[in-house]
Amino acid sequence: MTLPSWEIGRALGIPIRVHASWFLVFVFVTWTLATEYLPDALPGLSDSRYWGMGAAAALLLFLSVLLHELGHSYVAQRYRIPIGQITLFLFGGVAQMRAEPPSPKAEFLIAIAGPVVSFALGAFCLGAALAADWLSLPFGGQGFVVLGGLLGVVNVQLGLFNLIPGFPLDGGRALRAGLWAWGRDFHWATSRAALLGLGFGFLLASAGAGLIGGAISGMLHPSTASNGGWLMFIGAFLFGAAWSTRRQASLRLALNATCVRDVMIRAVVTIPSQLSLQAAVDEFFVAYGYGSFPVAEEGRVVGLITVQDVQAISQGLWTWRTVADVMRPASPELFIQPEWSIMQAMELMVRTGFDRLVVMEDGRPVGLITGSAVARFLQLHKA
């Protein structure tokens, strides 16, 4: 079952959402700070003060994660890459980019922006804590020093952790940018960076398991078990994300290496432009079961008609209206060359909204590339 998420606001025009799993880690971080870290750092306070400070620190920590993701998003928007949303969840946050970076330089700058923000926040918080300690501020000044130091250290750690050169961490994206610039192949670079992500995920999970084993056996302090658990969770998450990315990259490589000619439907079924809609429904849409057809006139493809186009007309008018009346006129985006890759065909379908494209060669239609044909190819490739 997919857990829900809720929108809590917007920043840079981007929806900010909180995943249900975030509440679990928020409670855990607050509890850890209120029962372990803060009583050791600031002895003598009441339990309510510890819990209040723990909750405030947890919120500020996640604000730091949000600013980290906004750093990525700001640079991505400078390269005209739309950001669907930023989601805070169990393992931190993620900015959903709706397009790939246009160049290795863009990829590197987008990747490095997050750690730069984290390091800047860390330096600011540590500097503020040192200043408060030097000035010996009254009325809770020591608490400000402790929380400032905590936020500073965590932000530096966040920046350093994200620089691990394993995809999908920021360091892995920076590595992908370098491999992309060197090999001139985005998907190959993604596959190689994800391979390192698999390795680092395995190492983190193994280290976490070692800490838990040491705590159980008595060789390490029992408190290390919780750290080991987090390392195992993070390692497993990184391994799973890298595995998924590597599979997607392999699939994209296959899509780029396969021509439209190898997948296209060679029996081109066209509808005459002057046919009535009723006849088109009876003789083509029902008979063939396709969702759309190219429209032909004197041997030329002049448009495309879809089920949605027909449904937009009242059924009582189907006898009186022709295909030419409701079809979508032909445009350059409707046609594709047989030497194009399947990846190019899919991108064109997404951009235009057509679920089929007419494959043209020497000025005449030689086939159709459809969404269902691509889906069959994907299923066979997966098998």
pLDDT in tens, 89-136: 766 777 887 777 888 898 899 999 989 999 999 999 888 888 877 776
pTM above 0.85, yes or no: no
Q: Order of strands across the sheet with 5-11?
A: 5-11, 14-19, 83-89, 92-97
Within the chain, what is the greatest distance between any pair of CA atoms?
91
CATH 3.10.580.10 for the 261-382 domain, yes or no: yes
For residue range 335-358, list pLDDT tens digits in order. 888 888 877 787 777 777 777 788
Q: DSSP character for 123? A: H
**DSSP secondary structure string for all residues of 165-197:** SSTTSHHHHHHHHHHHHHHS-HHHHHHHHHHHH
Please give the pLDDT value at position 75.
92
Least confident of 116-130, 151-165, 361-375: 361-375
d(CA 183, CA 319): 58
In Å, how far from its chain's centre is CA 159?
20
In the prediction, which pLDDT does 345 show?
82
Q: DSSP label at 332?
A: G
Q: H-helix or E-strand containing 357? A: strand 356-361
* Nearest in space to 173 (alpha carbons), one of 239, 240, 247, 112: 112
Report pLDDT digits (tens) over 142-154.
767 778 888 888 8
Q: Give all strands (DSSP E) within 12-109, no chain letters.
A: 14-19, 83-89, 92-97
Cα distances (angstroms) measured from residue 250 to each of 22, 167, 240, 380: 32, 15, 15, 14
Write phi, then psi, for 10 (nearest 5 degrees). Answer: -140, 150
Where along the chain do the CATH 3.10.580.10 domains lie? Answer: 261-382
- The yes-or-no verdict on residue 78 having pLDDT over 50 is yes
Neighbours of 48 (CB within 10 A): 9
Taking residues 48-73, report their average pLDDT: 87
What's the confidence (pLDDT) of residue 136? 66
